[in-house]
Every structure is written in C-alpha cells, then in structure tokens.
Amino acid sequence: MFSKVLIANRGEIAVRVIRACREMGIRTVGIYSEADRNAMHVRFADEAFLVGPPPARDSYLNVDRILKAAKQSGAEAIHPGYGFLAEKPSFADECETAGLTYIGPSAAAQRAMAEKTAARRTMQDAGIPIVPGTTEPIAGFPEAAEAASRVGYPVIIKAAGGGGGKGMRIVGSEEALADAVRLAASEVASAFGESAVYIERYVEPARHIEVQLLADNFGNVIHLGERECSVQRRYQKLIEESPSPALDDELRRRITDTAVKAAQVANYDNAGTAEFLLAPDGKFYFLEMNTRLQVEHPVTEFVTGVDIVKAQIHLAAGEKLRFKQEDIRPKGAAIECRIYAEDPYNMFLPSIGVIRAIQEPSGPGVRIETAAHHGMPITVFYDALIAKLITWGSTRREAINRMKRALREYQLVGVKTTKPFHQFAMEDETFCVGAYDTKYVQKVWGAQTKEVEDLFPVAALAATLVAHAGRATRHSAALQREIDSPWKYFGRREMMRRT
Ligand code: MV4
C-alpha cells in the first residue's frame, strides 16, 4: 500500500480524498495556487506545494509543477479528483512515466471511452443499446443532413472528443441544421481543441440514469447501484439521488447488468460510471462512460456503505476487488443537493464575493462535503461549487425531510447560492413523487424565476422608499455589526423567517 499520495486537485474533492488517505494511514501531499494559500485542503494535507498563480491552466493543470511536487515530496501515487486532469489520458501516462501510480482508470481505458463515437461502436458491437445516430464523427453538412433525416428530428449534436454537455446543441428541423452544425463545431473546437461532432436522435422526455462501477485488474467488475441525475441545468447537475424513483427491480437489474457489460467490453479498471438515458417506454440507451470519480459519489456511498475513494486507492495498489456483487445490498435512499455560488433568481449567474459567515448542518443522516470556510474568497478562477449536502433516509420521503432540515440549517452570508432552488424542489410535488425528467429545471424553475422577475419593479420602488427614509444607512451599519458576530446574525435571520 502507498505511504504517501499527492492529491492533484482543490476544494471539497481534495478534502474528501485527504480524509480517505488519513483513515488509511497514508500521508498526503496537497497542491495549491496563490489564490488557495489559506484553503482547507492545504491545511488538511500533511504537506503542500505551491504550483502557480490562480488561473487553473497555470496551476492545477500545470503538469510539470505537479509532477515536480510529487517527486520532491516522495509521493508514490497521485489522485486527480474530478475535473482538471481527471480525464486526460496523457496525464495518466505522464504519472506512470514518472514512476507514479495514477489512482483512476488506466490511460488505455480512458482513451477507449474518450472518443465518444468509438465508445458507441464498442458498445453497439457488444449488443449494448445506444441512441440511434452516427457512430463516426460527421464529415460535413450533407452527411449531417442524411444522418438527421435517417434518425428523425429533433436531433442533438455532440462533441466526439468530450462529454458532459459542452458543445451540445439540440436541432428541431433541417432548416436549423446547417447553422447548428457549424456553431457546435466551433464551440467544440474552442472547448476541446478539435471540432469533431456526431449526431444522435434527441430522446425526450428522458431521465438520466448512471451506474457506479468498480473494476480490478483481474477481470472482476461490480456495480454499486444507480444514481438519477436528471435535475440538471444546462448540463450542470444540481440534484442527484439513489436509487432512482423511475426504476423497478427488473429495469434496475437490466440497466446495471448492461453497465457491468459495458465496463467489461471497455477493459475498464478502477472506478467509473456508465451513463444511460431512460425513455418513457422503458427503453434505455448507453450515452457515455465517465472515466473518473464523480461529484455525486457520496449518494452511492450513503446507500451502499462503500467508501469509493478508498476502493479506488486499494484498486490502484493492484488489489483484487474486496467486494463480490452479492455483498452490495443498497439500503434506504440518499439525495445530494449541490450548493453553487450562483444566483438561481438571475439565470444561475455566478455570484462572487467573500464568505462572511457560515453555519453548516449535521445530525442524523446528514453529510456535508465542502471546503468552505469563514473568509473564503469565491472567485471566477474555479468551479462555483461551495458544498454538497447529502442526506440519507430509510425511505426517500425521510431523505427528503432530512434534506429540508439540512437546507434550513445551512446558512451562508457573502454570496448568493442555489439553496432556494433546492428548498423549492424539496417542497415540489413533481420532485417529491419522483415524476421528473431532464426538463425539470426548465419546466418548474423557469416559471419560478419568471414570477420573481415580475416583482422587480415593486422591489425597486420599495428599496427607493427605504433608502429615501434614510433607514437603509442605519440598518446596514447594524447589520454589519451583527454579521461580524455570525451566531447572533443567524439567530435574527431565523426570527425574521418565523415572523
Ligand atoms: C442526451 C439527451 C437526450 N437525447 N442525448 C446531457 C449531458 C450528457 N451527459 C448527456 N446529456 C444528454 N444527452 C440524447 N440523444 C439528454 C441529455 C441530458 C440533458 C439534456 C438537456 C438538458 C438537461 C439534461 C440533463 C441530463 C441529460
């Protein structure tokens, strides 16, 4: 087993990996940019190395500085977390060349799944259902038009070299296809450096189901159940849960068996996630394989009791899987709400600032994954994720009730967050009966934002009157004093809510 691991990441996922290492008696090496000098992951690591200025491309993506830190610290392995270098096969290769073990799927497994049309061909050849569409990048408009008329509109144009939604474009008719292909190709080129795109039939309504997989280097593959991730806004996940309320045991078995088969034909190793689309008629289609640990992994950990990060470390050390499929017996239900520094009442635009006060939930069935602390700057350099609230209940209803309690307890002053959206969802009938699909946010929250926008003129008038009366000045001075003593401030806010 490794004695020292470098975590090539920041924020909540760096803290998460450090915690797993600490419990395993593995010493940890952190890396940080100049903007993260006081960051939680730097304080939690046993030692830490400055790798560059704030921009990610000069720090957390600076492979030379990261490998130098690994060498200097004597780290034997590197965990990439998610994002940044986590799905760059070249980084996995460079780790191995530097004599370091990469804690994640091999570069070969990453490459096999990175080019999405090759992945689709691999799955199709294995008899795994894929969404009707092209299994090669399209060479130009005539081919796109032929493919689109073959599968039928609406179609979705996707990046052959990237997943997760970047560059995706839904096209409703042939008239819009030419512009869409051109725009998608240029977006993809700027995002992934090459402009290859492919076409699929746009499946709607649909639900986004993904299956957590673990595989060792001895041909053993197991699944840890599924997660439903349909609550997304512009392909950014907001709420995930396990099990999916859309699956019965029969459908669950079919989807998870298919996911295990996908990992086998991909010669997969370590942790990964097979993504599927589920149509209302019960048909499901392989979308892509995510060759990394995912943000939402705690939802699976809560219902299975498996520590997925520890499993990754054991697997990277060359061990056989410690679990057989029959050992995995998911219990209860878990939900994750992602707290982003974004304003849900203003198109989820980023909200930057400094965390002036923070109070986090706890108690039965509540887990928080975060790196937020008092005085932490929220900048545009990095992803806006502040915290993940995850709750477990013996039933989905109890998990929802716990999430409502956790959200109420979660108090943060300094930036706007997505908390109001989550509080809305936990009260919303459609979400609470589990009858939502990938259009949920657009359907329910678009309307919500609309109502708030109608109130803007009224709010402006009220603010003017208050300012005019001069009360605003005195009030903000008093508020400033209370913010400096957060406990009193939070008490007052709760009082306001009750009145
Ligand atoms: C799709 C789809 C419908 N039809 N592909 C989004 C991110 C990426 N992992 C795959 N995604 C989708 N691919 C086909 N052929 C629906 C999604 C999708 C989605 C699309 C729009 C808005 C929200 C979404 C949430 C989850 C999945």
Tell me if 199 CB under 6 Å of ligand 1: no
| Helix residue spans in 266-340 (DSSP H) | 297-304, 308-316
* 438 CA → ligand 1 middle, Å: 7
For ligand 1, pick from 116, 156, 233, 284 the residue to mutate: most ligand atoms within 8 Å of CB. 156
Tell me if 230 CB under 6 Å of ligand 1: yes
- Nearest one of 157, 170, 171, 172 to 117, comparing CA atoms: 157
Tell me if 213 CB under 6 Å of ligand 1: no
Tell me if 456 CB under 6 Å of ligand 1: no
Tell me if 268 CB under 6 Å of ligand 1: no
- pLDDT at 477 (0 to 100): 67
14 or 496, which is more confident: 14
Checking 62-71 for CB contacts under 8 A at 24+ apart, the result is 63/91, 63/94, 65/31, 66/6, 66/8, 66/31, 67/94, 67/95, 67/98, 67/100, 69/6, 69/29, 69/31, 70/6, 70/29, 70/95, 70/98, 70/100, 71/98
Q: Across the strands, what pairs with 199?
A: 157
Q: How many CA atoms are closer than 13 Å to the CA of 361, on its beta-carbon side?
A: 24
* 379 CA → ligand 1 middle, Å: 28
Return mean pLDDT, the chain.
92
**Which one is catalytic: 292, 338, 367, 402?**
292
Tell me if 163 CB under 6 Å of ligand 1: yes
- Tens-digit pLDDT profile for residues 309-355: 999 999 999 999 999 999 999 999 999 999 999 999 999 999 999 99
pLDDT category, 499, cuts 50, 70, 90?
very low
235 or 278, which is more confident: 278
Distance CA 109, CA 213 (A): 13
Q: Is 491 exposed, middle or buried (0-12, 13-18, 19+ CB in 10 A)?
A: exposed
pLDDT category, 471, cuts 50, 70, 90?
low
Instruction: Kindly give the interhelix angle for 141-151 and 174-192, rounded to the nearest 10 degrees.
Output: 120
**Percent of residues in the chain assigned helix, strand, coil, to nearest 5:** 45, 25, 35
Q: Is the dihedral of CA 260, 265, 269, 274 positive or negative?
A: negative
- Tens-digit pLDDT profile for residues 134-156: 999 998 889 999 999 999 999 99
Instruction: Of 90-99, 161-170, 214-223, 413-422, give the lowest mean pLDDT range.
Output: 161-170
| Kind and range of the H or E run holding 396 | helix 396-409
* 317 CA → ligand 1 middle, Å: 35
- Tens-digit pLDDT profile for residues 29-53: 999 999 999 999 999 999 999 999 9
Joined together, the tokens standing for residue 70 give 């690994």
Q: How many residues does the chain have?
A: 499
- pLDDT at 399 (0 to 100): 98
Kind of pairing between the strands at 353-354 and 221-233: unpaired
Instruction: List phi, psi (to 5°) of 66.
Output: -70, -45
- Tens-digit pLDDT profile for residues 412-422: 999 999 999 99
Whether 6 has a pLDDT exceeding 80, the answer reads yes
Distance CA 424, CA 428 (A): 6
Joined together, the tokens standing for residue 122 give 């691999």
Its pTM surpasses 0.85: yes
First to last CA, the chain: 57
pLDDT category, 406, cuts 50, 70, 90?
very high
* Residue 376: C-alpha distances to residues 146, 353, 355, 373 (Å): 53, 9, 5, 5
* 436 CA → ligand 1 middle, Å: 14
Distance CA 40, CA 11 (A): 7
Distance CA 377, CA 371 (A): 11
For ligand 1, pick from 168, 200, 437 the residue to mutate: most ligand atoms within 8 Å of CB. 168
Instruction: Of 87-96, 133-142, 214-223, give the lowest mean pLDDT range.
Output: 133-142
Whether 19 has a pLDDT exceeding 90, the answer reads yes
- pLDDT at 300 (0 to 100): 98
Q: What is the DSSP letter of 281?
A: T
Portion of the chain with pLDDT greater than 90, in percent: 83
Average pLDDT over residues 4-18: 98
Whether 370 has a pLDDT exceeding 80, the answer reads yes
* 278 CA → ligand 1 middle, Å: 11
- Known active-site residue 405: no
| Kind and range of the H or E run holding 70 | helix 63-73
Distance CA 189, CA 366 (A): 42
For ligand 1, pick from 87, 237, 277, 440 the residue to mutate: most ligand atoms within 8 Å of CB. 277
87 or 390, which is more confident: 390
Tell me if 95 CB under 6 Å of ligand 1: no
Portion of the chain with pLDDT greater than 70, in percent: 90
Instruction: Kindly give the interhelix angle for 396-409 and 419-427, rounded to the nearest 10 degrees.
Output: 150
pLDDT category, 454, cuts 50, 70, 90?
low
- Nearest one of 255, 225, 228, 281 to 128, comparing CA atoms: 255
Distance CA 46, CA 44 (A): 7
Whether 488 has a pLDDT exceeding 80, the answer reads no
Helix (H, G, I), strand (E, B) or coil at 180: helix
The DSSP secondary structure of 197-246, one letter per residue, reads EEEEE---S-EEEEEEEEE-TTS-EEEEEEEEEEEEETTEEEEEEES-TT
- Tens-digit pLDDT profile for residues 109-135: 999 999 999 999 999 999 999 999 999
> Please, what is the Cα angle at 8 between 6 and 12, to 5 degrees?
105
- pLDDT at 54 (0 to 100): 97
